[in-house]
Chain A
Amino acid sequence: DGGITQSPKYLFRKEGQNVTLSCEQNLNHDAMYWYRQDPGQGLRLIYYSQIVNDFQKGDIAEGYSVSREKKESFPLTVTSAQKNPTAFYLCASSDGGGGRETQYFGPGTRLLVL
Chain B
Amino acid sequence: DAKTTQPTSMDCAEGRAANLPCNHSTISGNEYVYWYRQIHSQGPQYIIHGLKNNETNEMASLIITEDRKSSTLILPHATLRDTAVYYCIVRASEINFNKFYFGSGTKLNVKP
Which residues of chain A come closer than 8 Å to B105, judged between CB atoms? 42
A98:B44 contact, CB within 8 angstroms: no
Q: Report the minimum CB–CB distance from A68 to chain B (whole Å).
A: 13
B43:A99 contact, CB within 8 angstroms: no
Say what secondary structure dominates the interface of chain A.
strand
Which residues of chain A come closer than 8 Å to B97, judged between CB atoms? 97-99, 101
Chain B interface size, under 10 / 10 to 19 / 20 to 34 / 35 or more? 20 to 34
Q: How many A-B residue pairs have CB under 8 A?
A: 63
Q: How far is the CA of A69 from the CA of B65 in the complex (A)?
A: 44
Say what secondary structure dominates the interface of chain B.
loop
Tell whether A90 pairs with B104 under 8 Å between CB atoms, given A48-B98, A48-B99.
no
B41:A88 contact, CB within 8 angstroms: yes
Interface centre among A33, A94, A101 (most CB of B within 10 A): A101
Chain A interface size, under 10 / 10 to 19 / 20 to 34 / 35 or more? 20 to 34
Q: Report the minimum CB–CB distance from A38 to chain B (whole Å).
A: 11
Q: How far is the CA of A48 from the CA of B100 in the complex (A)?
A: 11
Interface bits A34-61 vs B (CB < 8 Å: 1, else 0) = 0100001111110010100000001000
Q: Report the minimum CB–CB distance from A96 to chain B (whole Å).
A: 10
Q: What 8 additional pairs, Cβ within 8 angstroms, besides A35-B102, A42-B87?
A: A42-B105, A50-B98, A94-B98, A97-B93, A99-B31, A99-B92, A99-B93, A103-B100
**Nearest 4 A/B pairs, CB to CB:** A99-B93, A105-B43, A42-B102, A43-B102
